[in-house]
A and B are shown apart, each in its own frame.
Chain A
Amino acid sequence: MAAITEIPSDNIADIGDYKANSLWRLTVRRLFRQRSAIVGMIILAVLIIVAVFAPLIAPYDPTAVLIGVEDVKKREAPCIHLLGCPEDQPQHIMGIDGNVRDVFSRIVYGTRVSLRIGLFTVTIAVTMGTLLGATAGFIGGWLDNLIMRLMDVILAFPFFLLAIAIVFVLGPGLQNAMLAIAIVSMPAYARVVRATVLSVRETDYVEASRALGASNIQILFSRILPNALPPLIVLATLGIATAILDTAALSFLGLGAQPPTPEWGTMLGSERNQIFSAPHLVFIPGFAISITVLAFNLLGDGLRDALDPRLVHAGVKSD
């Protein structure tokens, strides 16, 4: 008897493992077949390296004011020795900002800030959204109604406008800005999780787990959430792009990161009137935001195509 119960359970486990692996392996293989996704991953890899090794890459402290330290002037244009800038001038490859700080060092440290903003914001949004969506789908009834109507109300506002209103009430600051963006992006995750819960809740394998005595929490984490993972990953990757873009916009308006934090949106916002006299102070942070957001967008699109077998079958994006 013991042998008989052992064999099938082993087999089931094997099949389960095999399937789980193959989905992800297939995804990775499809992902690497897309040129745009590869470009996204390469940019992202560079950004991560820059963020991790920021202290080694940046020649100056990002908040250090260089008055009296070096012979540099306010808002000086970039000076690169290789490109013919006189050797006796101190080299600042991205120039000097309005507070006489090295722009390159600020951009390098800004990578840390931006990646952290993206990851933190989306982590908060996904966690809150998953909890709410799972509760709504699992418990159902009036609680489901209450939670989902609340999400509808958030969606009834223009995304960025509600974020502005929330930060305005909470008070300006990077943390509040991130929280605001997390709150307004939460409904998308809640909806996806709830939809998955509803579609999976009644399946035979969930019934089977229940019959074996699994608790609701166990079923949720080991049976239902894995099903919600593919759409969540896609949403979250694209969500990081949005989070970075919108937090930068909030910072630009003075509601997000406060000076002297080396945040790209803040850097651009505080020098925006210098577009006529020192355009590099606008272009460089703007370019940094764009390239980071682009990387996450490319990766997110690639993941969506790789994770969505429907598109492959429909012949829409199989190539």
Chain B
Amino acid sequence: MIQYTIRRIVLAVPVLLAILIVVFALTRSIPGDPCKSILGEKATVAMCEQFTRDYGLDKPIYTQFGIYMKNLLQGDLGNSIRFGRPVTLIMIERLPLTIELGMSAMIIALLIGIPAGILSAVRRNSAIDVMTMVGANIGVSLPVFFLGLLLVYLFAVLLKDTPLQLPPSGRISAGIIAKPFYEVYEMGIEEGGLKYNFYEFIANHYVFNAIITRDWELLKDVLRHLLLPAVALSTIPLSIIARMTRSSMLEVLGLDYVRTARAKGLTERKVVLKHALRNALLPVVTIAGLQLGGIFSGAVLTETIFGLAGVGLSMFEAITSRDFPIVQGLVIVIAFIYVAFNLLVDLSYAFLDPRIRLD
């Protein structure tokens, strides 16, 4: 297993390098003056000369790539044109929300998708099965941005002034303050510096922050705000996971060892949940990992609709204001997270199925 892990990690390095090369190539293929597109239209001649020197734009392309790589390895993703602040800082502020949103969506997708798939497979051709599969088909066909707006209409307009009303936008209600845990516990973190940034990054996970500071009022408010976007974002992965679980379960239920288990006189419940499910879940793990890319992409649309200031909304704002450094930085960071997650999925797969690591 250790050997397999090391091999997979080593194999991921060229992929990461290739991602950087692709993003670099995309950067350099922007039509027009690179200085103007990166510093903004207001850049003066002097600023542009400085920029050309800094990024070696007057030097050969491989030198430029060297400078680009050096900056990246130092965690420098450039400065946002619009905010005039380092992209890395914007990321520290905004990535936690996207992580929480994505994780909530994934949890909803798994918690509903897997049981629905199992039930569908066990009660094949029953009303439940038909309903689940029709639902799954509709689920993959609904655009996230449309579903999000539908939910807003339902829970913020139609159900207004009922207990079911949910906030249509924002991360927390006005008046509620998310006090970072390092202030609550008086850890004496000074503003600025790497340590502060790290603590800030952790504290910006509001759900997590609320739990460790035991601020249940905040937790309730954050979760209420998170619910609609998470549901909107979870539909497509949920549908795909439900379908995958169903077909994989059906395949496993037809195998000999399941018949043996039944012949032994085990209850149907035990056969399905103990014998069949473990093997049936293997392909589901892979497909769930692949959905992560969809979650990140969907976050751009979901956050835009629900006015959530995560990296997805940053991406949308950066697109509309042509804030190039942010788009570049976000693409790199999200692609890296995606590769890392798929690596984890591969490893867990190998962990679950010994045949893979022995290959």
Contact = CB atoms under 8 A, between A and B. Distances in A.
A315 interface: yes
B21 to A, nearest CB: 8
A272 interface: yes
B254 interface: yes
A53 interface: no
Interface string B250-271: 1100100000000000000000
Contacts of A255: 319
B250 A253 contact: no
B138 A294 contact: yes
A107 interface: no
Interface stretch (B39-47, B202-210, B298-306, B349-357): B298-306
A162 B304 CA distance: 18
A253 B149 contact: no
A161 B296 contact: yes
A3 to B, nearest CB: 52
B131 interface: no
Interface of B is mostly: helix
A265 B145 CA distance: 9
B149 A272 contact: yes
A162 B22 CA distance: 10
Contacts of A315: 254
Interface in A1-35: none
Q: Among B31, B125, B145, find the residue whose CB has the most chain A CB atoms closer than 10 A.
A: B145
A158 B297 contact: yes
Contacts of A161: 293, 296-297, 300, 331, 334-335
B112 to A, nearest CB: 20
B29 A290 contact: no
Contacts of A290: 138, 141-143, 146
B285 interface: no
A252 interface: yes
Interface string B317-342: 00110101001000100110011000
B276 interface: no
Nearest to A252: B145
B18 interface: yes
B172 interface: no
B339 A316 contact: no
A158 B319 contact: no
A279 B138 contact: no
B254 A314 contact: yes
A276 interface: yes
B140 interface: yes
B157 A157 contact: no
Interface stretch (A93-101, A130-138, A166-174, A187-195): A166-174
Contacts of A319: 125
Contacts of B250: 316
Interface stretch (A63-71, A213-221, A241-249): A241-249
B199 interface: no
Given A254-B320, A268-B146, A294-B138, A169 B297 contact: no
7 tightest A-B contacts by CB? Answer: A160-B297, A286-B146, A158-B293, A294-B141, A293-B141, A153-B18, A158-B296
